[in-house]
Structure 1
Amino acid sequence: MKKLRSYYMHLKHQHTIERKWIYPLAVGSIISLFLLFLATLSSPDGTPLLPLYRYYASAPASVFVEDKLRSLPVSTLPPPPRFAYLISGSKHDGAMLKRTLLALYHPINRYVIHLDAESSPEERLELHQFVKNHPVFMKFGNVVMITKANLVTYRGPTMVANTLHAAAILLKEGGHWDWFINLSASDYPLVTQDDLLHTFSYLPRDLNFLDHTSKLRWKESHRAKPVIVDPGLYMTKKSDVFWITQRRSVPTSFKLFTGSAWMVLSRPFIDFCIWGWDNLPRTTLMYYTNFISSPEGYFHTVVCNSQQFQNTTVNSDLHFISWDNPPKQHPHYLTVDHMQKMIDSNAPFARKFHQDDPVLDRIDSELLDRVGPDVIVPGGWCVGDRVNGSDPCLVVGDVMVLRPGLGAKRVGEFISSLLSRGRFRGKQCK
Structure 2
Amino acid sequence: MGKCTNVRLIVNLYFMLTFVGFIIAVMYISDTRQVKESFPGLFLRKIQAYRDIFALKYTPCPRPKSKLVFIKTYKTASTTVSAMLMRYGYYNNLSFVLPLKSPFFSRVKPFNRNMMKEAVPPLPSSNGSYDVHAIHVPFNKSEFAAVIHNATYVTIIRHPVSQFESTFGFYKAATRIKSLRIDAMNSSRDPLSVFLLDPKRYYNTLRGTLKTVLRNRQIFDFGLETKDFDNDTKVGQRIDAAAKEFDLVMISEYFDESLLLLRRLLCWEFDDILYISQNKRPGQLRFSLDDWKSKQILEWNKADYKLYKHFNTTFWRKVAEYGSGFQDDLRKLRHMLDEVRSDCLDEGRHKIAYQHRRNVTMLKKNATSRCKIMNWDADVGTTVLRKRQMKNNSSSGL
TM-score, scaled relative to structure 1: 0.24
Q: Which of the two has higher C-alpha Rg?
A: 2
